[in-house]
Amino acid sequence: PIINDFKDTNGNDCMKQAIQDNYNQIKEDVKQIVKDELDRIAADENLKHLIQK
């Protein structure tokens, strides 16, 4: 069975673009998670010594 058809309304295969878009979104999400966690650690008196300056 076809779980996901990677064709647009014109019938063009857009699988590579969908994969690239997902990859880019995951990459941005990971960057945001890392930034948020570094900010959280820097604000915590018990953890801020873990961040190298």
pLDDT digits (tens, 9 = 90+) for 17-26: 999 999 999 9
Give the start-to-end residue ranges of the domains of the chain: 15-50
Q: State the Cα–Cα distance between residues 19 and 38, nearest whole angstrom.
A: 29
User: Is-contact 13 6, C-beta < 8 A?
Assistant: yes
In the three-class reduction of DSSP (H, G, I as helix; E, B as strand; rest coil), residue 7 is classed as strand
CA distance 47 to 10: 54
On average, the pLDDT of the chain sits at 94
Ranges of the chain with pLDDT below 70: none
CA dist list (Å): 44 to 12, 16, 37, 50? 51, 42, 11, 10
| Structure tokens belonging to residue 7 | 């064709």
